[in-house]
């Protein structure tokens, strides 16, 4: 029997966001938290993802750029051969995060809302 291999994984690393969009599926906002997962927990998830053949991990939230360990987690995933996508609202991007975004193997995704 042929088993399907999981190739894509979303990791919701925070419920915190600068915005309070009424349509937010995650009910994220300024009062959101990073949850109970620690940075070592997320590193283990990335290691397991790579081990089982995941190719692309997308960091989501909330707003993943608000998680203080995002650059570290991106590096950890890249070092294990994962492609990384960061789904961000791009409200504020620090210079450190721009360096992270421009690493080989990293890409950005965003939503654009208009009237």
* CATH number (domain holding residue 69): 3.20.20.70
Report if residue 73 sits inside a domain.
yes
Of 12 and 5, the one with more pLDDT? 12
Report if residue 1 sits inside a domain.
no
For residue 38, CA distances in Å to 19, 35, 45, 49, 78 come to: 24, 8, 11, 17, 19
Core vs surface per residue 14-32: b (16+ CB within 10 A) or e? bbbbeeeeeeeeeebbeeb
What does the pLDDT read at residue 1?
A: 62
Give the chain's length. Answer: 115
Report if residue 2 sits inside a domain.
no
| pTM tops 0.75 | yes
What does the pLDDT read at residue 52?
A: 96
Asked if 10 and 83 count as a contact pair (C-beta separation under 8 A), the reply is no
Q: What are phi and psi of 84, to 5 degrees?
A: -125, 135
> pLDDT at residue 113 above 90?
no
Domain count, the chain: 1
What average pLDDT score do residues 87-106 get? 96
What does the pLDDT read at residue 58?
A: 98
Report if residue 50 sits inside a domain.
yes
What does the pLDDT read at residue 2?
A: 63
What average pLDDT score do residues 20-38 get? 88
Q: Which domain holds residue 29?
A: 8-109
Number of Cβ within 10 Å of residue 46's Cβ equals 23
Q: Indicate the pLDDT class of residue 4, thresholds 50, 70 and 90.
A: confident
């Amino acid at each position: 029997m042929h088993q399907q291999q999981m190739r894509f994984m979303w990791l919701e690393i925070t419920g915190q966001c600068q915005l309070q969009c009424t349509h937010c599926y995650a009910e994220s906002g300024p009062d959101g938290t990073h949850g109970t997962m620690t940075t070592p927990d997320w590193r283990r998830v990335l290691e397991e993802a790579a081990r089982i053949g995941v190719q692309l991990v997308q960091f989501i939230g909330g707003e993943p750029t608000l998680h203080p360990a995002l650059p570290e987690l991106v590096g950890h995933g890249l070092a294990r051969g994962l492609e990384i996508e960061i789904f961000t609202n791009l409200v504020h991007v620090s210079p450190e995060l721009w360096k992270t975004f421009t690493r080989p193997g990293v890409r950005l995704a965003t939503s654009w809302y208009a009237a």
